[in-house]
Structure 1
Amino acid sequence: MTSINRFIDFNDELINAGERLRLERLARALTGMPDLGLTERQHIEFHPASNELAMSVFWRHRDAEVTEQGRLSDLYLLAAGFWSKFDLAVWREFRSETEGHALREFLRSAVLLFEELRITDAVIAERPGTEEAFAIRRRLYGEFHMGQQSVNLRRGFRADALFNHLYAVIHGIPETYASSEDELAGLIEPVLYGVFDTRSTADSVRMAEQMAPLLDGRLREDLQHSYYAVGDGLVGPKSDFHYHKGTEDREKGETGEKESVGELFSTWHAANKSEKGMHLNYELEHGRIGEGDGTGAREGREGADATSTGRGQSAADERSGVAREAATEAAGSEAGAWIKAEGFGTANESVVYREVLAEADNTAEARERIQKWREESIPHVRAIVKEMQKRIERKREERREGLPKGRLSKNPVSVLLNERPRPFYRKQSPSKRLDAVFGLLVDGSGSMADKLDETKKAVLLFHDILRSLDTSHGIAVYQEDSATATKKRQPNTLQWLHRFRDDGKDDGGRILSLEAGDDNRDGFAVRWMTSRLLQRTEAHRFLLVFSDGEPSAFGYGQNGIVDTAEAVREAEKQGITVIHLFLSSEPATARQQELFRMMFGNRSVSADSIDRFSDETLRILRKLLVLASGNM
């Protein structure tokens, strides 16, 4: 895992994961798209290919209230406005017609400016509660355009200065325009007054078309800056699957252009979802016209990637669900087959993963090291085991009094004093073990290389205590292969050091085989281990994450922080307690602590130094065991 110390202060934008998740849920509610993602770009944008909306970074570094209302206005405009009120067919036709125009960017930006005003008014009419956010938006963007106008005039960027003027006129903002440009502004202002009568995207396009001849020959250079990107991702299909020659025309003739952004997203998302993964090798004609001729068929070969996985039908063991887990693991863990990640969040849609069983390190050196570490930790292990056994025994001896049936109490006075006596008691149901299961995820990224010995020691202590208590647990190392990761495929390996079904087995040799890999995709790993824990029947489920920094994988920067935070919250909603231990050779900084709080809430612990890993592991594990024993 890449250390957080890699942050450069002047370029570091620490994301508030909780805030991002809240806004993402709002976007999903407004659009009705449950898997919609949210990110930030220079301008507000749509990204159908990645199923995302982008807020603008324009609202960063402002007062908290302004930032909040500004980002809300972005979402209202995108998810409640352009999503359903923007005509894609008209927009695409206009883009095509202006492709070779000298003022192409100016005219396109003007259409989007007119559309923003029209759509804003429509959203406010439908949702009056959005008015405050849009008022702040108009004021701040008005100040921006007025500040930029003088700068653009001074630099000779006449098209940009004129666009700043358009914004001011449309929004009724007083501004001072250079006298040398008054004639140019006066030519187009009569056209602008019609903006308040626009009722459709076609009306906005007609206004831009009316301006074009007025500016022809008078404005020789196009915009030097970008003001809108909301229409850029809506131009045409750029999906992961390809159309053969002639297919696009057939597709258009069959279903026609999509009318709205919402329809485009739904279709694109559904198509990509159905096309992802390894299926039969055939020529794609979009599934409607033409039949496969069999020329793309291939002979089966041993070792090919699995196309599907199966799950056994045997009933789970009443105590721990071992049979069900064994059937799931048999689908690919030991064989190491690559599986397409499904249901692991939008940030992990291109992930493929495999589960492998670590090869035990049975060398003489490894055995000596295990023996040495166990000799050092045996007093701690014995102390915790003894404490837990006493707690369990006390639970077994506790009696429930005042029952209508059972064993007769030694104090029968209640029979005489109470109108409806209950003189019986029962002992607690005998229990020989904790009704709990533990999952441990160990970061296997490259930055763990200098902490491997202490990490192995802490993991071994964790394993020995739970094994001594006969408590089910699973230990896995997670890492992503950075060398082969691409936008379409991000391979992740989850290596079992100890499986849940191997109760009582000494896997010290596997733990000693732990090695550092490349990158780490924390949110994905948390979701994967959560799915494992949910298969268990124990009353108490705990998930521990040992890591040394922030998530770091292909395309998994700030959205990795959000994805991890969301994965943790989802796990806790399903009754799984998630604990994070930060492994570092130095105490965590305030910045690091804030990041961990964003991802793991108040259940993040930091070891002050490398030699404290085992101590912190012991302390965490003891608290969790006490919690589990107190609720038996």
Structure 2
Amino acid sequence: MKFLSFADTKIDAFLHMQLIDLAKTLSRDPKLEVEFSYHSYLNKSGHFIHVSQFWMTYPGPVQLQGLKSEVYLRSFGNFYFSDLRVLQEVLQSFKQEKHHQFLKHLLLFAEDYRLEKECIARRPGMAVSFSERKKVLLTYFQRQLRQHLQQRKWLDAFFCSIFLLANHRLVQLNSPLSGFYDKIRAPLLQLNKAHSTKEIAEIMQVIQKILREWDIKDMITSYLSFYESTTATFKDLTRENEVKAPHTMETEEETDGQDTEHEEMPSWHEETSSPTDSFLQFDLDQGTSTDLLGEGGRRAEEGDQAFGAVQAGAKQSKGNDFSAEMDAGLDEKGSAPGKEVFPYGEMNRCAVEKKVETRFPTPLELKKYLEIKSAVQPSISLLKQSFLKTIEHKKNVPNQDLHFGRLSKKLTRLLTDKNPRLFYKKMESPQELDAVFTLLVDCSASMFDKMDETHQAIVLFHETLKAVRIPHSIVGFWEDAADAKKDSQPNYFQEVISFNHSLKNQYGPEILQLEPQEDNRDGYSIRKKAEDLLRRKEKQKFLLVFSDGEPAAFDYENLGILDTHEAVTQTRKLGIEILGMYISNGKVTEEAQNLMKNIYGSHQVVVPSAAELVSYLVPVLRKLLFKLS
């Protein structure tokens, strides 16, 4: 559990998920993700959009429109209407120039300016976000212009003035800017009329020649970025550019003349003519000079586009049997690799489940348990009576106005109604409720001063559900920080009350064995316990989580909130109702409320202190029991 926050740059999980969904919808790339970075740019080969944290300092509505405008530019504009190869080639040629930073910024600004008009023309609904974006950036660059002029950073100031002039703001250009602007005014106007990345690149070459004549320091401030990468060709995917085993070598004549830049990746729909035409070679050979194939195909990873393409169109081959290798790429359900490669979330791909056996209670634990049970007994009795009364009320409330059943005492309808309904039926409630509960208890180190009060709430939960005969389980969870490594993070689960023992009177003191331990990986734990609930036959399934703060574990802090939110969302889609209860340290802060809202949405309760946990749990249980009855 995290005690201190030195950099309060937390990202709203709901906002993050909204941007991810928006990016995937616009780009039609299901793998596309959104990350927050210093600048905004598209990493198409890596399936990432980076949006700028520049917008995080602005109020909520402005922040949302600004971030959406960047998603529009990258997932729709750059994704479909930019020639990324041309941009990369031009930027590469600028690196030899004395003013390469200014040329880079001017090129990227001109491209974004063109893409903005393209986006609005094709999707007019984007105009609202771009309008808000323009207002903010105009104010920002006016302030930056004044600052650069005072510091005599002429090219920095000139770039700011270009942005302002392009958006119809009058700017007074002082010497030496005025003379230079007169020289490149014509090509700048042509940039405004460019219709493609290629046209912009050609105009930039003209500006590049003019700029060589100007003896001035290059631009220093960084406003825009571009992801430069080597485009993967067909040879890269089949590893033909690496040293191959003798039995997979091809002659130069076989590979010459292939259009590798635009060639589509084939799939196994027919028998292939040679081994290297198939992506199976990519899986079996690692590029080393050996004729050994190893023990089988390499395990698929989430980013393997080649393997995914093969799997999407796989059919039985006539001459070669690839069924074994194909089966290696399928999960137990026979689905293609993708998100299923990490069933508990990508952030938890190295998490390992460890179970802690519950020992037999000591006499001291038995005595303490009876004391706690006696203290919470009034609340248990209240909840039980309330539940039974509700059951009895619903049982006795008749279903009235029927054509058959028991005769009602209100016979006046024979005279007042044309088609009287004089009968009713009693509703018989089932003896056993078709519901099941699981309580997840955070056993991180920060619970050391709250565990005694938490024990009381757990006892209340257990004894209440036992009294109304609802099966349930109680599980403590934590991660071992000492043994956690990059490739293995042991996560421990101690089931002190199991489903099979929950309704038996002799079980209960085991609850006191839950003690503060190490870290907590909430997203992984929620997914694991949701799996257990899905195996139950009951119709209604509930998962409660007791926690006292933000998830914190090995390599988990930065995206722990988002991963836990995704786990909660996935659990609800499976038909399990999940509720989070946050135990604060004596005062409910806005930060704590926002944290729980980001993770659990409206299904959460923030408890001011551990001492009040029992009093807050009573209405929660009453509401849940009323829902069941």
Using the size of structure 1 for normalisation, the TM-score is 0.75
> How far does residue 87 in structure 1 lie from its aligned partner after superposition?
1.7
Task: Provide Cα deviations, 1:15-36, integer angstroms capped at 9, x if missing partner.
Answer: 4444444343322321224454
Give distance in 1, aligned partners of 2:196 and 2:596. 47
**Alignment pair present for 1:202 and 2:198:** yes
Give distance in 2, aligned partners of 1:253 and 1:285. 21
In structure 1, the partner of 2:621 is: 621
> How far does residue 396 in structure 1 lie from its aligned partner after superposition?
4.5
Give distance in 2, aligned partners of 1:428 and 1:527. 37
In structure 1, the partner of 2:227 is: 232
In the superposition, relative to structure 1, how do residues 100 and 522 fare at CA in structure 2: closer, same or farther (>3 Å)?
Answer: farther
Task: Provide Cα deviations, 1:273-318, integer angstroms capped at 9, x if missing partner.
Answer: xxxxxxxxxx9964387899546449xxxxxxxxxxxxxxxxxxxx
In structure 1, the partner of 2:440 is: 441
**Alignment pair present for 1:43 and 2:34:** no
In the superposition, relative to structure 1, how do residues 107 and 461 fare at CA in structure 2: closer, same or farther (>3 Å)?
Answer: same
Q: Could you say what the CA RMSD is over the residues aligned between the two structures, in angstroms?
A: 4.3
In structure 2, the partner of 1:460 is: 459
In the superposition, relative to structure 1, how do residues 618 and 247 fare at CA in structure 2: closer, same or farther (>3 Å)?
Answer: farther
In the superposition, relative to structure 1, how do residues 349 and 591 fare at CA in structure 2: closer, same or farther (>3 Å)?
Answer: closer
- Comparing 198-207 with 371-380, greater Cα deviation is found at 371-380
In structure 2, the partner of 1:513 is: 513
Contact 2:285–2:293 (CA under 8 A) maintained in structure 1: no
> Aligned to 1:432, what secondary structure does the other structure show?
coil
- Comparing 578-587 with 594-603, greater Cα deviation is found at 594-603
- Partner letter of residue 464 of structure 1? E
> Aligned to 1:478, what secondary structure does the other structure show?
strand
In structure 2, the partner of 1:79 is: 75
Give distance in 1, aligned partners of 2:48 and 2:607. 37
- Partner letter of residue 42 of structure 1? Y
Give distance in 2, aligned partners of 1:487 and 1:27. 30
In the superposition, relative to structure 1, how do residues 401 and 212 fare at CA in structure 2: closer, same or farther (>3 Å)?
Answer: closer
Give distance in 2, aligned partners of 1:192 and 1:412. 88
In structure 2, the partner of 1:94 is: 90
Give distance in 1, aligned partners of 2:88 and 2:570. 40
Give distance in 1, aligned partners of 2:438 and 2:204. 61
Give distance in 1, aligned partners of 2:612 and 2:136. 50
**Alignment pair present for 1:223 and 2:181:** no
> How far does residue 116 in structure 1 lie from its aligned partner after superposition?
0.6
Give distance in 1, aligned partners of 2:48 and 2:555. 14
Give distance in 1, aligned partners of 2:507 and 2:217. 71
Mapping 1:524-563, distance limit 5 Å:
524-553=524-553, 556-557=556-557, 559-563=559-563
> How far does residue 581 in structure 1 lie from its aligned partner after superposition?
1.7
Give distance in 2, aligned partners of 1:483 and 1:87. 49
Contact 2:88–2:228 (CA under 8 A) maintained in structure 1: no
In structure 1, the partner of 2:312 is: none
In structure 2, the partner of 1:392 is: 391
**Alignment pair present for 1:595 and 2:595:** yes
In the superposition, relative to structure 1, how do residues 258 and 478 fare at CA in structure 2: closer, same or farther (>3 Å)?
Answer: farther
**Alignment pair present for 1:287 and 2:283:** yes
> Aligned to 2:448, what secondary structure does the other structure show?
helix
In the superposition, relative to structure 1, how do residues 236 and 371 fare at CA in structure 2: closer, same or farther (>3 Å)?
Answer: farther
Give distance in 2, aligned partners of 1:539 and 1:110. 61
**Alignment pair present for 1:578 and 2:574:** no
> Aligned to 1:586, what secondary structure does the other structure show?
coil
> How far does residue 559 in structure 1 lie from its aligned partner after superposition?
4.6
Contact 1:341–1:349 (CA under 8 A) maintained in structure 2: no
In the superposition, relative to structure 1, how do residues 487 and 257 fare at CA in structure 2: closer, same or farther (>3 Å)?
Answer: farther
**Alignment pair present for 1:497 and 2:493:** no
Give distance in 2, aligned partners of 1:21 and 1:402. 49
Mapping 1:136-285, distance limit 5 Å:
136-216=132-212, 218-219=214-215, 221-229=217-225, 231-232=226-227, 234=229, 246-247=241-242, 256-257=260-261
Mapping 1:563-574, distance limit 5 Å:
563-565=563-565, 567-569=567-569, 571-572=571-572
**Alignment pair present for 1:432 and 2:431:** yes
In the superposition, relative to structure 1, how do residues 392 and 169 fare at CA in structure 2: closer, same or farther (>3 Å)?
Answer: closer
> How far does residue 103 in structure 1 lie from its aligned partner after superposition?
3.5
Give distance in 2, aligned partners of 1:551 and 1:41. 22
**Alignment pair present for 1:28 and 2:24:** yes
Contact 1:578–1:603 (CA under 8 A) maintained in structure 2: yes
**Alignment pair present for 1:115 and 2:111:** yes
Contact 1:102–1:220 (CA under 8 A) maintained in structure 2: no
Task: Provide Cα deviations, 1:559-610, integer angstroms capped at 9, x if missing partner.
Answer: 5434444544554566544322222341212332243334334443233333
> How far does residue 547 in structure 1 lie from its aligned partner after superposition?
0.8
In the superposition, relative to structure 1, how do residues 162 and 561 fare at CA in structure 2: closer, same or farther (>3 Å)?
Answer: same
- Partner letter of residue 80 of structure 1? F
**Structure 2: 5+ residue stretches without partners:** 245-249, 266-278, 297-330, 332-338
- Comparing 191-200 with 94-103, greater Cα deviation is found at 94-103
In structure 2, the partner of 1:270 is: none
Contact 1:2–1:548 (CA under 8 A) maintained in structure 2: no
Give distance in 2, aligned partners of 1:625 and 1:440. 15
- Comparing 614-623 with 246-255, greater Cα deviation is found at 246-255
Point out which structure has higher relative CO (alpha carbons under 8 A, 6+ apart): 1
Give distance in 2, aligned partners of 1:567 and 1:290. 35
Task: Provide Cα deviations, 1:142-199, integer angstroms capped at 9, x if missing partner.
Answer: 3333322342344343432332243334444321223123333333333222213423
> How far does residue 115 in structure 1 lie from its aligned partner after superposition?
0.8
Contact 1:356–1:494 (CA under 8 A) maintained in structure 2: yes
- Partner letter of residue 347 of structure 2? N
Contact 1:159–1:219 (CA under 8 A) maintained in structure 2: no
> How far does residue 481 in structure 1 lie from its aligned partner after superposition?
4.8
Contact 1:414–1:423 (CA under 8 A) maintained in structure 2: no
> Aligned to 1:373, what secondary structure does the other structure show?
helix
- Partner letter of residue 604 of structure 1? Q
Contact 2:478–2:518 (CA under 8 A) maintained in structure 1: yes
In the superposition, relative to structure 1, how do residues 508 and 385 fare at CA in structure 2: closer, same or farther (>3 Å)?
Answer: same
**Structure 1: 5+ residue stretches without partners:** 268-282, 299-330, 332-338
Mapping 1:339-358, distance limit 5 Å:
342=342, 348=347, 350=349, 352-354=351-353, 356-358=355-357
Give distance in 2, aligned partners of 1:425 and 1:480. 57
- Partner letter of residue 465 of structure 2? L
Give the paired residue count: 560
In structure 1, the partner of 2:316 is: none
In the superposition, relative to structure 1, how do residues 429 and 253 fare at CA in structure 2: closer, same or farther (>3 Å)?
Answer: farther
Instruction: Give percent identity, aligned residues only.
Output: 29
In the superposition, relative to structure 1, how do residues 197 and 421 fare at CA in structure 2: closer, same or farther (>3 Å)?
Answer: closer
- Partner letter of residue 67 of structure 1? Q
Give distance in 1, aligned partners of 2:145 and 2:107. 19
Give distance in 1, aligned partners of 2:153 and 2:481. 44
In structure 1, the partner of 2:313 is: none
> Aligned to 1:55, what secondary structure does the other structure show?
strand
- Partner letter of residue 241 of structure 2? G
Task: Provide Cα deviations, 1:244-285, integer angstroms capped at 9, x if missing partner.
Answer: 7934999999884589xxx9xxx9xxxxxxxxxxxxxxx996
> Aligned to 2:22, what secondary structure does the other structure show?
helix
